[in-house]
Each structure stands twice: as structure tokens, then as C-alpha cells.
Structure 1
Amino acid sequence: MNQKRTTLTIQVQPKAKRNEVLGFTEGILRLKIAAPPVEGKANKEVISYLSEVLDIPKSSVDIERGHTSKIKIIAINGIDRERIYERIEAARRQ
């Protein structure tokens, strides 16, 4: 597997009806997450949902900064930026 490391800035809207990719706004990926922002539940769901959208293991997604904020810096390993954007766009269209 490719050992590339990419970082993304994301904005999370917790307690949504369902997990959803809203797309990019001014370079920030906006996500709706069903889990509440309590005891790390939303953060765990962000990692799980992004790994599902990107079709990579959960261990390849890490929250670098913003554990207690709606704005987070996410590190993604093993997939290049172009493929990340392709998969996010495909998920947004669903």
C-alpha cells in the first residue's frame, strides 16, 4: 500500500439524523455525524465514517488536532490526496 500521508481540515456537525458528506466549503470538508459530541463518540464516528467513505482501515485515519472542536485536522495514511477527493465526491453524490 502507498505510504502517503495527507491532512484534511474538516468541520463536523454532530447529532445529525445520519452520517453525510456535505462537501468542501473554502477548503474545509463538511461532515454531518449522527453521534453526539460526548465522551469522544463523535470523534470515533468521524474516524469510522471517513474510513468507510475512503475505503481504508480505521487505523489509517487519525484526528491530529481539534479533539474537542467542530473544526478538526485529520491525518489520512496510505491514500493520495487525489483519490481522497474522488471518493469524497462520490460519497457526496449518493
Structure 2
Amino acid sequence: MAFYTYLLKCVDGSYYCGHTDQLEFRIGQHQSGKGSDYTARRQPVELVWSQDFPTRHEALAAERQIKGWSRAKKEAPIAGDWDRVQFLSRSADT
């Protein structure tokens, strides 16, 4: 069974990060206003990034890590720019 970490873009331009083992079903919940209070107040939402993981623990760890990222760093994997993720990680450490 696969587990997923995902990013949604909300109508106000903010990002929501979550994890699930049923990606399509969970996105449908968010899009219908039943996924979370945060996304229910920021409709419509759009899936902009997801990644699968072999365990729930890894997906949850990725969610927690991404939730702490800056907006610019969240936008890097959406664009598929993992070099930028690394760059922003290094620049945050200095």
C-alpha cells in the first residue's frame, strides 16, 4: 500500500499540506469542502504536488517537514526544481 504527501493550492493562493493512503478520495474530500476546516474556507482547491512513500510514517514525516517550509521552498517541488529545494535549505541554515 502506498501513502502520499500532497500540496493543495487554495483559492487565496495559500498552500495546504497533508498525507493520506487514498489520494484521489482525499483530494475529493478537500474539493467538496469536507477535507479540513482550512481548505473548506479556501475553496476551490487544486492538487499541485504529491509524492508517494512506502509507509505512513514516512509520508507523515514529509508532511511535517514541508509544513515548516517557506512559500518559496514549497513552490520548488511543485515546479519540479529539487535543486532549488536544496539551495533554499542551505540558505536557511546560514
| Short-chain TM bin | 0.3 to 0.5
- Between the two structures, name the one with larger relative contact order (CA 8 Å, sep ≥ 6): 1
More helix by share: 2
TM-score, normalised via structure 2 length: 0.33
